Structure 1
Amino acid sequence: MARKVFFSFHYDNDVWRAMNVRNSWVTKPDTESAGYIDHADFEKILRQGEQAVKRWIDDQLFGSSVTIVLLGAETLQRPFVKYELEKSYARGNAIIGIFVNKLKNAAGETSSACSIYGCPVGKNASGDVVNFSSFPIYDWVDNNGYTNLGSWVELAINTQKR
């Protein structure tokens, strides 16, 4: 079954890494992706202000069933990533974290990994805060993301029913 996946990441630091992951995803059968925009288009939206970026994020999340957060050095500290996580959780998307810090960027460099702890994404039905660290976290390099991404998506959809 085709899945519409929203990719969340820190644009300035990890767009090259995100393109590698996203491109591996869209070459597989029965997949559909969202959440990627090229630099010029992103800069144009960003110049229109915070609300324009949030509208674009909301539009991209529409129809998605999974949000994949591509984790680099500062990802979970970024305000738009936090917004994407909160909106994803509120709309019932399955959420997955994937460390991409070991992938090289355009300059051939890797980065450090951010902490997955202390990043709230919303509240559950009991009113308890749900943190990002409660979702499945993988490593693109160590866990063979190219081969396993599809199974991670299906597992998340089947186990994260709220």
Structure 2
Amino acid sequence: MLEVGGVFGQAGRDEQQSAEFDPAVNILPPQRNRTARVVVNDVSSLKADRMAKTVFYSFHYEQDVHRVQLVRNINALEGQPLLNSQEWEEVRRRGDQAIKDWIHDQMAYKKAVIVLIGKYTASRPWVLYEIEKAWADKKPLLGIRIHALSSLGSVDTAGSDPFGKVASVGAVPIFDPTTRDWAGKIDSKATYKKLSDNLERWSSQGATRLS
């Protein structure tokens, strides 16, 4: 296990530091004066049977549901049921407590929580709630950028770091499969292939609160 502890230096949220255990991962520094004590799983020491097979996906439904479906179609991991818009609206109409109860039930027995980060994910209150809950419950937590996946033929620009919006959360790894062609344009097909090749492995590298 790799243990990361202490006070991290201040840096802009858009500045990312490469993690030694995987060139595709970035660990973003927490806010000023915030101490973090986390465990990041070292993938080289994990056996296949410890991979996170069942996970909770946190995401912005309206903007990214088609991208999330692409992630689910990889079939490397088992996520919670993906509600359609009508089903989600039925839960939402019952109020905040009903939403919290649904989140609690779906997250309860998952081995990791993966935030699928799109353009506006960091601004969504329920995503931030899910991040806070995952950290409090000591579940392995990580992010994967999905803005470069195609949604109805279009891609998005990268969104900001949602973990930096939750004061209680320490340093959390963010993986970015975004791939560009020779002209610097996002290649959504190559991005999807990179995600498909790495999703299961990345899922085992979440950060966990120690105390």
Which residues of 2 match residues 41-60 of structure 1 at below 5 A? Answer: 41-60=87-106
Q: Does the 8 A contact of 1:65 with 1:92 survive in 2? A: no
Instruction: Provide the C-alpha distance between the structure 2 equivalents of 1:96 and 1:45, rounded to a whole number of angstroms.
Output: 26
Q: Which has the higher contact order (CA 8 A, sep 6+)?
A: 2
Alignment partner, residue 195 of structure 2: 145
Instruction: Provide the C-alpha distance between the structure 2 equivalents of 1:16 and 1:137, rounded to a whole number of angstroms.
Output: 20
Report Cα offsets for 1:132-159 as digits up to 9, x if no partner: xx21111233371111111111233xx6
- How many residue pairs get aligned? The number is 146
Return the offset for 1:8. 0.3
Report Cα offsets for 1:1-36 as digits up to 9, x if no partner: 363200000001000001111221xx23xx432263
Paired amino acid for 1:32? E
Which one is further off, 8-17 or 113-122?
Answer: 113-122
Aligned mate of 1:103, from 149, 155, 167: 149
Structure 1 residues not aligned, in runs of 5+: 123-129
Alignment partner, residue 172 of structure 2: 135
Q: Does the 8 A contact of 1:89 with 1:121 survive in 2? A: no
Pick the structure with greater CA Rg: 2
Aligned mate of 2:157, from 79, 95, 112: 112
- Secondary structure (helix, strand or coil) at the match of 1:98 reads strand
Paired amino acid for 1:109? S
Which structure has the highest helix share of the two?
Answer: 1
Return the offset for 1:50. 1.6
Paired amino acid for 1:114? G
- Secondary structure (helix, strand or coil) at the match of 1:32 reads coil
Which residues of 2 match residues 24-39 of structure 1 at below 5 A? Answer: 24=74, 27-28=75-76, 31-34=77-80, 36-39=82-85
Evaluate the alpha carbon distance shift between residue 68 and residue 103 of structure 1 in structure 2; reply closer, same or farther with a 3 A threshold: same
Evaluate the alpha carbon distance shift between residue 161 and residue 46 of structure 1 in structure 2; reply closer, same or farther with a 3 A threshold: closer
Alignment partner, residue 60 of structure 2: 10
Instruction: Provide the C-alpha distance between the structure 2 equivalents of 1:15 and 1:39, rounded to a whole number of angstroms.
Output: 10
Paired amino acid for 1:90? A
Aligned mate of 2:127, from 51, 57, 81: 81
Evaluate the alpha carbon distance shift between residue 121 and residue 36 of structure 1 in structure 2; reply closer, same or farther with a 3 A threshold: farther
Percent of residue pairs identical: 35
Alignment partner, residue 107 of structure 2: 61
Evaluate the alpha carbon distance shift between residue 77 and residue 5 of structure 1 in structure 2; reply closer, same or farther with a 3 A threshold: same
Evaluate the alpha carbon distance shift between residue 54 and residue 141 of structure 1 in structure 2; reply closer, same or farther with a 3 A threshold: same
TM-score by length of 1: 0.81
Structure 2 residues not aligned, in runs of 5+: 1-48, 180-190
- Secondary structure (helix, strand or coil) at the match of 2:148 reads coil
CA RMSD of aligned residues (A): 2.0
Which residues of 2 match residues 115-126 of structure 1 at below 5 A? Answer: 115-116=160-161, 118-120=164-166, 122=168
